[in-house]
Amino acid sequence: MIPQSIQTFLSLDLFPLLAALFAAISCGLLGNFLVLRKQSLMGDAISHAVLPGLVAAFLITQSRSPGMMFIGAAISALITVVLVEVIKRLGKVEPGAAMGVVFSVLFALGVFLLENAAARSVDLDADCVLHGNLQTLFWISPPDQWSNLFSAESYSDVPRQVWTLAGTTLGVTLFVSLFFKELKIASFDAGIATVQGINAGFMHMLLMTFVAIAAVASFEAVGSILVIAMFICPAATARMLTDRLKSQIFVSIIVAALTAIVGYAIASWVEVNAAGMIASASGVFLVIAIVSSPRHGVIAKTLNQRQLGNKVALEDVLGALYRISESDSQANLEQLIASTGADSRSRKALSKAQSLGLVNVHNGILSLSKVGESRAASIIRRHRLWEGYLVEQAGLSPDHVHETAEQLEHFVDVPDQSLSKTHTDPHGKPIPPR
C-alpha cells in the first residue's frame, strides 16, 4: 500500500514537476549554444512566434488535436528561423533587431488570429501561451500499490505533454552529445568549421530546428515565459561558473534541474503559478552566479581590484619615500601625504608597509628599511626606465611621461632591454641599478 501523502504527490505534483524538469533541461541544454552564439533572443522569438501557427492549425483543421497543433507550431517556428535569416541578410539590421521584428509581428498576428477565432466562440486561451498549464497535468489514477508502479497499465493515463517532453529531452540530449564537437566548432569559428567539412550554416539550421522542437514541446506545458528563461538563464549561469564548454553544459543541466525543483517547490508552498516561479528562480540563480562566481563574479572582481589598489598604494608610498630620501631630507607624515595625496588608502598602505617591515617610523620620521629600500628602488627604476622609453621610442615630450609611467611602473617592465643600460631618466634623475 502506498501512503496517502505519496499518492497525493504522485497524482498532483509528479507530472507537473517532471514536465517542468524536462522542459528546463531540454531548453537549458540548447541554450548553451544560443548564449555562446549571442543568439539567445532566438528562443524568445520562436516561443512567441508559435502562437500564429497554433491558431492557424486550429482554424484550418477545426480540431484541437495535439498532433495538428504541434505541426502548426513547428511550421511557424521554422518560418521564424528563416524569416530572421532573411531579414538579417536583406534588411541590413543587426541579428537582435531581426529577431525582435519577426517575433513581435508574428506574435501580434497570433493574437489577431486568436481574437478572430474567439469571436467565432472557440476556446483557445491566450494566458495558456504565456504561463502554460502545468497544474492540469494530473495523474488521474496513480498506482495505489507499490507493485503497480511496475505495471504498464498504471502509465496508460500519463498526460501526453509529459511523454512529448520526455521524448524531446531524450532527443535534445542525443543531439547535443552526438554533435557536440560540430556544434562547438560551428559556434566558435564558422569559417574553420566549413573548411573542416562541417558546414556552419547547416549546423545553424540544425540547431534552430532543435530549438524550435524544444520550444514547441515545452511551451504548451510550461508557457513561453519559462521557455525563454530556460533558453538563457541556466546557460548564462553556467558560463559564469566554468571556462570549458563541456563543464558549462553539465553545470547548465544541473542548474536547470535545480531551478525547476526549487521553483516548483516554492510555487506549491506559496501557491502561485509554478512556471512563473521557476522562471523567477532561474533569474535569481543567474544573479547569484553573476555576483559570487569565483572567477568572473562581481565579488571576486571587486576583491581583485581592491588587492591591486592596495598594492599600487603601497608601491606609491615606497616610491614617495624613496624620492624624499633622494633629496637628502627626512620624511615625516606630512611630506608623505603631500606627495601621495591624503586619502585613507595611502595611510592604510603606510601602516601595511610598517607591519611588513618595509618602513620604519622613529620619532615621527619615516624611513625605508633595507628590504623596503630595495623594493622601492626597483619601482623607481621601472618608472624612470618607462619615462626614458616613452620619450625615446614613443616620441613623447619629457613633461608628458610621468603620469603614464606612474601607471605602468606597477605592472610591466620596459619592453626594450637596450634601455636598461642608461643611467638617467629624461629629467636627469638617476635610474637605480637593478
Partner 1 sequence: MTHTENSQVQSPRSILDARPEHSADSPVSVHAMTVAYNRKPVLWDVDYDAPSNALVAIVGPNGAGKSTLIKACLGLIPRASGTVEFWGKPYKQSRSLIGYVPQRESVDWDFPVSALDVVCMGRYRKIGWCRPVTKSHKRAALEALARVGMEDFATRQISQLSGGQQQRVFLARALTQEADLYFMDEPFAGVDASTERAIIEVLRELRANGKTVIVVHHDLQSVPEYFDHVLLLNMRVVAAGPVSEVFTAENLQKTYGGRLTLLAEAAEAVARAAKGT
Closer to partner 1 by Cβ: residue 243 or 271:
243
CB of 250 to partner 1, least distance (A): 12
Nearer to partner 1, 89 or 306 (CB): 89
| Cβ neighbours of 409 (radius 10 Å) | 24
Min CB(247)–partner 1 separation in Å = 8
The residue among 199 and 367 lying less far from partner 1, judged by its C-beta, is: 199
| Nearest distance from C-beta of residue 89 to partner 1, angstroms | 10
CB of 92 or CB of 421, closer to partner 1 = 92
Please identify, using beta-carbon distances, which residue of 192 and 299 lies nearer to partner 1.
192
Distance CA 46, CA 48 (A): 5
Nearer CB in complex with partner 1: 38/64: 38
**For residues 28 and 424, what is the distance between their CA atoms, to the nearest angstrom?**
61
CB of 205 to partner 1, least distance (A): 16
Nearer to partner 1, 146 or 180 (CB): 180
Nearest of 166, 194, 198, 142 to residue 21 by alpha carbon: 166
Whichever of 169 and 248 has its CB closer to partner 1, that residue is: 248
As beta bridge partners, residue 361 has: 366
If we measure between CA atoms, which residue out of 380, 398, 382 comes closest to residue 390?
398
Report, in Å, the least distance between residue 92 CB and partner 1. Answer: 9
- Which of residues 239 and 383 has its CB atom nearest to partner 1 in the complex? 239
Amino acid at 173: T
CA nearest 366: which of 404, 412, 320, 327?
320
What cell numbers appear for 313 in the block? 598604494
Distance between CA atoms of residues 14 and 258, nearest Å: 15
For residue 243, give the amino acid letter.
D
Q: Which residues of 362-392 are buried (b: 16+ CB within 10 A; e: fewer)?
A: eeeebebbeebbebbbbbbbbbbbbbbbbbe
Interface ranges with partner 1 (CB under 8 A): 36, 38, 178-182, 184-185, 187-189, 191-198, 239, 242-245, 248
| 351-to-172, 336, 373 alpha-carbon distances in Å | 59, 13, 16
Q: How far is the CB of 6 from partner 1 (least distance, A)?
A: 41
How far apart are CB 249 and partner 1 at their closest, in Å?
10
Q: How far is the CB of 289 from partner 1 (least distance, A)?
A: 14
Closer of 138 and 179 to partner 1 (Cβ): 179
* Least distance (Å) between residue 300 CB and partner 1: 15
- Nearest distance, CB of residue 38 and partner 1, angstroms: 8
Distance, CA of 389 to CA of 408 (rounded, Å)? 11
Q: Which is nearer to partner 1, 146 or 188 (CB)?
A: 188
Q: Minimum Å distance from CB 227 to partner 1?
A: 24
Report yes or no: 64 and 125 within 8 Å, Cβ to Cβ.
Answer: no
